[in-house]
Structure 1
């Protein structure tokens, strides 16, 4: 059974290399649990099963965009209440430009460019969950 005192991060990413990298990074971060989903549909199922403390979302998933995922999660009748206060971070290798504004308007708390700055990851996670 999962320990509710251990922060859970859901990482939604379809690129296997990025998934493996993040899994390795989280192995080195004591006191954190990482769960991965490769599609928006898998992410919605994971959110319903056990709401995390933080969601890291690739903006370009195979079945929907990150903006569509956050919209569907907020609109989902069974999830809306459970996800109140959940922190969301958009991840993309694309030039942020207007995407950052759209992500923030949709409910994302931050926008990180790929590749992820691994040395800063733990402090960024702690800041988001503070």
Structure 2
């Protein structure tokens, strides 16, 4: 990623209200561009078309797959395996959180998010990636 370009986030979420809320959050975050996909298949299509976001935010409960399965598909694809992923889910079951982190998700954020903390964590994610 070039320093003068916006950091791209691909948000994979099927709930339209959550998408609208996240679009509002990102409108207030300078230096970030949000791209949304409503299914795992749509996300994979965008990635296979060449989209390489700085971060994927993946809901754990999608209509066509779950976040763990989508992450596994990403990891199995040599062209996509290095993409940084974070879970963003209303599911706060400790076993699910631990399993996602153990699988390789960089973060697991629980909805509803606290916007200032979420923004700080996004910035920290970008700083780690570009360091």
Q: Please tell me the TM-score bracket, short chain as reference.
A: 0.7 to 0.9
Give the root-mean-square deviation of aligned CA atoms. 1.7
SS of the residue corresponding to residue 111 of structure 1 reads strand
Structure 2: gaps (5+ residues): none
Give the TM-score of the pair, scaled to structure 2.
0.87
1:51 aligns with 2:52: yes
Shift of 1:100: 1.4
| Deviation beyond 4 Å, 4+ runs, structure 1 | none
Give matches, 1:1-130, under 5 Å: 5-49=5-49, 50-76=51-77, 80-84=78-82, 86-130=83-127
SS of the residue corresponding to residue 21 of structure 1 reads helix
Shift of 1:96: 2.7
Give the TM-score of the pair, scaled to structure 1.
0.87
- The answer to whether the 8 Å contact 1:92/1:112 transfers is yes
Q: Deviations over 1:6-51 (max 9, x none)?
A: 2100001000000000111111112111000000001111222311
- The answer to whether the 8 Å contact 2:10/2:57 transfers is yes
